[in-house]
């Protein structure tokens, strides 16, 4: 993609100031553009009279689009990239271990408090 030196410098400064790579920065700009009043105002100023502007096929919570991490469908729904933690809770009040080895402390006083 070709763009002005001012944009290239801005992307470079964002790259240095964040943990995002340059591609993620550009994807984030495109991802958020349809939800920007300024972007939509500029598009409407140049819109063809007989053609409606398209709606994005993503919503503001679909961060995998700009992060560059495709979401695979495993048939169970949910985020397959999230770490699943199996918690064994008993009424004994003792600490139990979760799947990744982090302890959980259970306080039995009418409520459950989990400390990860």
Tokens, residue 8: 């290239």
First to last CA, the chain: 45
Exposed (0-12), middle (13-18) or buried (19+): which is 46, by Cβ within 10 Å? exposed
* pLDDT tens sequence across 72-88: 555 544 444 444 444 44
Strand partners, 98: 87
Q: Helices then strands (H, E): number in the chain?
A: 4, 2
**pLDDT 10s digits, 42-64:** 999 999 999 999 999 998 888 88
Domain residue extents for the chain: 5-67, 83-116
């Amino acid at each position: 993609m070709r763009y002005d030196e001012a944009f290239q410098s801005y992307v470079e400064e964002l790259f240095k100031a964040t943990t995002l790579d340059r591609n993620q920065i550009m994807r984030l700009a495109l991802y958020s553009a349809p939800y920007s009043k300024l972007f939509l105002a500029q598009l409407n100023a140049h819109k063809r009279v007989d053609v409606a502007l398209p709606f994005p096929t993503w919503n503001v919570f679909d961060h995998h689009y700009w992060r560059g991490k495709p979401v695979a469908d495993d048939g169970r729904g949910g985020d397959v990239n999230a770490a699943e933690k199996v918690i064994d809770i008993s009424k004994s009040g003792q600490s139990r271990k979760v799947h990744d080895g982090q302890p959980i402390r259970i306080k039995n006083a009418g409520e459950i408090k989990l400390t990860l």
